Amino acid sequence: MDAIAAAQVLSEIGYLLRQDPKEVYRARAFSAAAWALALERPDLEALHKNNKLTLIEGVGEGIAKVLAGLVESGQSSYLERLRAETGQPARDDESAIELDAYQGDLHSHTDWSDGRATMLEMARGAKALGYQYLGVTDHSPRIKVVNGLDAERLLAQSRAREQVENEVGIALLQGIEVDILEDGSLDLPDQVLEILDIVVASPHVKLRQEPMAMTERMLRAVNNPHVDVIGHPTGRRPGSREGASYDFERVFREAAASGVAMEIDCDPARMDLSPEHARLALELGCNFSLDADAHAPAEFAYVPMGAWMARRAGIPMDRILNFKPLEALTMIAK
273 upstream amide cis, omega within 30 of 0: yes
User: 48 or 217, CB closer to Zn ion?
Assistant: 217
User: 13 or 146, CB closer to Zn ion?
Assistant: 146
Least separation, in Å, of the C-beta of 202 and Zn ion?
4
- CA nearest neighbour of 135 among 316, 286, 300, 304: 300
Least separation, in Å, of the C-beta of 31 and Zn ion?
18
Alpha carbons 85 and 82: distance in angstroms, whole number: 5
> Strands 104-108, 288-291: parallel, antiparallel or unpaired by DSSP?
unpaired
Residue 241: strand, helix, or coil: strand
User: 48 or 270, CB closer to Zn ion?
Assistant: 270
Alpha carbons 13 and 137: distance in angstroms, whole number: 30
Least separation, in Å, of the C-beta of 155 and Zn ion?
21
User: Which residues share a beta bridge with 200?
Assistant: 177, 229
User: 207 or 213, CB closer to Zn ion?
Assistant: 207
Which residues of the shown chain bind Zn ion in the complex (CB under 5 A)?
177, 202, 293
Least separation, in Å, of the C-beta of 259 and Zn ion?
21
- Other Cβ atoms within 10 Å of 40 Cβ, number: 12
φ, ψ at 151 (rounded to 5°)? -60, -40
CA distances from 1 to 43, 56, 172, 219 (A): 9, 16, 34, 42
Least separation, in Å, of the C-beta of 135 and Zn ion?
10
Residue 137: strand, helix, or coil: strand
User: 177 or 228, CB closer to Zn ion?
Assistant: 177
Least separation, in Å, of the C-beta of 203 and Zn ion?
8
User: 103 or 202, CB closer to Zn ion?
Assistant: 202
